[in-house]
Amino acid sequence: MLTRRTFLHSAAGAACLAARAQSTDARIEILPSEPIGRIAPEIYSHFVEHLGGVVYDGIWVGENSAVPNVGGIRKSLVDALARSKPGAIRWPGGCYADQYDWRDGIGSRAQRPRRTNFWVDSPEWPKNARRDGPQAYEPNQMGTVEFVRFCRLASAQPYIAANLRSLPAQEFWRWIEYCNSPAGSTTLAARRAADGDPQPLNVRFWGVGNESWGCGGNFTPEEYATEFRRYTAWVPGYGARLSFVGSGPNGGDLNWTRGFFDKAGASLNSMWGFALHHYSWNASGGRTTDWMAGKRDALRFDAEQYYEILREANLMESLITSHWGVMGEVDRRHRVKLVVDEWGAWYAPGTEPFPEALLGQQSTMRDAVLTGLTLDTFQRHADKVAMANAAQLVNCLHSLFFAHEDKFCVTPTYHVFAMYAAHQGAQSIRTMISAPQVGYNRNGQPATLPGLAGSASLEGKRLVLTVTNLSLDQSREAEIAVRGTAIQSAKAVVLAAADVHAHNSFDAPNAVEPKEQAVSPRGSLLVHRFPPASVTKIEIATA
Ligand code: AHR
């Protein structure tokens, strides 16, 4: 039986569906007087690992490339990313973080060493992929200053995941010193200046290892708690507020959370966030829990596989509440927040945008619905989730972009991020959605999912409601009311397609695009029809 943990160890080891109209049978009631918490812009964060085509050639093309670039960084990518208002970008892994030596990525780029990237051994490489390039042998051209410049170009905050498995704690502190010590203060500040950045990079977010239950060292939670304490004790802040993120559980592993929190004791005071990872991968309908056998194709899927991936994504809600409950047994005032720093769909190999894009997969309207469903879940728990990072940004799992040589396109997932950016910084408010469930056949047994799911936020008089219709084949008309407030005007943006398998590609980059739609208030209500397998944003001006 192969699990994700053993898979990673081995690596480092339709339906074209016509909408059947329904009469109004759903109601959405938004309650401005019931705030949940401020929606952290960092919920809209991303993840970049030295893995397949993510960094080379997704982001880094080099200064001498014919591909338009800013100091070696792909221009089309940063321009589009900036428009979607990214919160933070996590780098350099993932599992690669616990192999990475930050000292390889500083100094003259011409002198930097070439190293083996452990992903070279992954069983998921496409057969026709070349295994001798930067995707397998890391040339260290995108090191720390290049990564932080990428973040600045995209107006995102850097989030660095440090190596806990194979570098000593002292190197963690020195990496912080390289990034944040004042100009002229230390040898490493001088090194940074020689690398082009005399002023501190002011990196606030630091991950202390990654998946320490697996590729990050196969620790027990108690062992990891001791390591976390050692790495984070008495680290100089250099005037910047340091926010340490501890390696949290794999999906529903409450034993990891309980074991860590019970043991961590006073070191919880130096923890800002606890990282949960959850991928939606098992589309087998419960037929297997094997990591390789349970995954299905990103493009060719039937109704059961469509719903099964959304079912996996919809587990996010219970993962958040269950881990939060366990954390609260020790951290009673909930000082430590949840950071979901890896989430998204993970399909079987076969739809890579180019062969060297290891773990690259296509992204359809199903992935757009998964994205909306997940972002809405985070927003409904804005009091608990302080950051979330979709895995991964480009040419990989659940990506926003595909980029290869001079070709570039955005995915349906990108459009959802751009639509939902309107929520950032606003107050999440309780929203009650009452709609018939959708039913499907799960390996011969009846199964259900919510018909509509969503969240709402309020800033001043501007209210934003986002909703996904999970049904493959039924549109759903809903009455929308804002309790205690009149609706003055509203406008909608809808992401939908006649076929849920619709996707963008280098040859058809605009096959899936959001469309604006007028919404007219009827008295104190809005009435809106949500198309099947769609994501909708409605911006409402209240009185
Ligand atoms: O995102 C791919 C891999 O999935 C990451 O390297 C690892 O952290 C996770 O298991």
pLDDT digit string, tens, across residues 169-197: 999 999 999 999 999 999 999 999 999 99
State mean pLDDT over 162-168. Answer: 98
Probe target for ligand 1 pocket from 50, 96, 165, 210, with the most ligand atoms within 8 Å of CB: 210
Tell me the CA–centroid distance for residue 94 and ligand 1, in Å.
Answer: 5
What CA–CA distance (Å, rounded) separates 444 from 252? 26
Question: Residues 509-540: pLDDT tens digits?
Answer: 999 999 999 998 887 799 999 999 999 999 99
Tell me the CA–centroid distance for residue 359 and ligand 1, in Å.
Answer: 10
CB of 162 closer than 8 Å to CB of 207: yes
Q: What is the pLDDT of residue 385?
A: 98
Amino acid at 528: H
Q: What are φ and ψ of residue 7, in 5° steps?
A: -60, -45
CA dihedral 86, 398, 43, 425 (to 10 degrees): 50
Predicted confidence (pLDDT) at residue 16 exceeds the cutoff of 50: no
Which protein residue's CA is at the shortest distance from atom 9 of ligand 1? 94
Q: Of residues 177, 308, 312, 342, which has the active-site annotation?
A: 342
Q: What is the DSSP string of 301-354?
A: --HHHHHHHHHHHHTHHHHHHHHHHHHHHHSTT--SEEEEEEEEE---SS--SS
What CA–CA distance (Å, rounded) separates 91 from 148? 10
Question: Residues 321-346: pLDDT tens digits?
Answer: 999 999 999 999 999 999 999 999 99
> Structure tokens of 524?
């104190």
Probe target for ligand 1 pocket from 55, 95, 295, with the most ligand atoms within 8 Å of CB: 95
State mean pLDDT over 132-137. Answer: 94
Q: Is 127 exposed, middle or buried (0-12, 13-18, 19+ CB in 10 A)?
A: exposed
The residue with tokens 């959850």 is 278
- Helix (H) or strand (E) run with residue 431 in it: strand 427-434
Q: What is the pLDDT of residue 3?
A: 57
State mean pLDDT over 363-383. Answer: 98
Ligand 1 atom with the smallest distance to the CA of 359 is 2
What is the Cα Rg of the chain in Å? 23
Tell me the CA–centroid distance for residue 404 and ligand 1, in Å.
Answer: 22
> Structure tokens of 334?
């909930």
Tell me the CA–centroid distance for residue 343 and ligand 1, in Å.
Answer: 9
Tell me the CA–centroid distance for residue 95 and ligand 1, in Å.
Answer: 6
> Structure tokens of 369?
């619905």
Q: What is the pLDDT of residue 246?
A: 98
Helix (H, G, I), strand (E, B) or coil at 490: strand
Tell me the CA–centroid distance for residue 44 and ligand 1, in Å.
Answer: 18
State mean pLDDT over 368-379. Answer: 98
Would you report the helix, strand and coil content of the chain in percent, each value rounded to 5? 30, 30, 40
Nearest C-alpha neighbor of 249 from the set 4, 496, 450: 4
Q: What is the pLDDT of residue 4?
A: 52
Which protein residue's CA is at the shortest distance from atom 4 of ligand 1? 94
Tell me the CA–centroid distance for residue 20 and ligand 1, in Å.
Answer: 40
Amino acid at 174: R
Ligand 1 atom with the smallest distance to the CA of 47 is 1
- Helix (H) or strand (E) run with residue 316 in it: helix 316-330
Predicted confidence (pLDDT) at residue 264 exceeds the cutoff of 90: yes
Quick check: is 342 catalytic? yes
Which protein residue's CA is at the shortest distance from atom 8 of ligand 1? 94
Nearest C-alpha neighbor of 279 from the set 261, 297, 291: 291
State mean pLDDT over 459-485. Answer: 96
CA dihedral 289, 293, 299, 305 (to 10 degrees): -40
Helix (H, G, I), strand (E, B) or coil at 340: strand
CB of 404 closer than 8 Å to CB of 352: no
Q: Is 47 exposed, middle or buried (0-12, 13-18, 19+ CB in 10 A)?
A: buried
List, in order, residues 6 or more apart from 281 with CB less than 8 Å away: 4, 291, 294, 295, 312, 345, 346, 347
Q: What percent of the chain has pLDDT over 70?
A: 96
Ligand 1 atom with the smallest distance to the CA of 210 is 8
What CA–CA distance (Å, rounded) separates 502 from 512? 7
Q: Of residues 146, 211, 317, 352, which has the active-site annotation?
A: 211
What CA–CA distance (Å, rounded) separates 216 from 280? 21
Q: What is the pLDDT of residue 24?
A: 82
Amino acid at 105: G
> Structure tokens of 220?
């027990």
**pTM, rounded to two decimals:** 0.95
CB of 526 closer than 8 Å to CB of 517: no
Predicted confidence (pLDDT) at residue 228 exceeds the cutoff of 90: yes
Helix (H, G, I), strand (E, B) or coil at 363: coil
Q: Is 33 exposed, middle or buried (0-12, 13-18, 19+ CB in 10 A)?
A: exposed
Probe target for ligand 1 pocket from 4, 47, 49, 399, with the most ligand atoms within 8 Å of CB: 49
Predicted confidence (pLDDT) at residue 58 exceeds the cutoff of 70: yes
> Structure tokens of 165?
């498995």
Ligand 1 atom with the smallest distance to the CA of 95 is 6
Q: Is 15 exposed, middle or buried (0-12, 13-18, 19+ CB in 10 A)?
A: middle
Tell me the CA–centroid distance for residue 211 and ligand 1, in Å.
Answer: 8
Question: pLDDT band at 2, cuts 50/70/90?
Answer: low
Predicted confidence (pLDDT) at residue 5 exceeds the cutoff of 80: no
Q: Pocket around ligand 1: residues whose beta carbon is below 6 Å from it?
A: 8, 49, 93-95, 210-211, 342, 391-392, 397
CB of 361 closer than 8 Å to CB of 347: yes
Nearest C-alpha neighbor of 209 from the set 163, 172, 251: 163
Which protein residue's CA is at the shortest distance from atom 3 of ligand 1? 94
Q: What is the pLDDT of residue 189?
A: 98
Which protein residue's CA is at the shortest distance from atom 5 of ligand 1? 94
Which protein residue's CA is at the shortest distance from atom 2 of ligand 1? 94
Q: What is the pLDDT of residue 17?
A: 34
Quick check: is 223 catalytic? no
Mean residue pLDDT across the chain: 95
Which protein residue's CA is at the shortest distance from atom 7 of ligand 1? 94
> Structure tokens of 65?
């490339």
What CA–CA distance (Å, rounded) separates 456 from 521? 17
Probe target for ligand 1 pocket from 50, 119, 215, 399, with the most ligand atoms within 8 Å of CB: 215
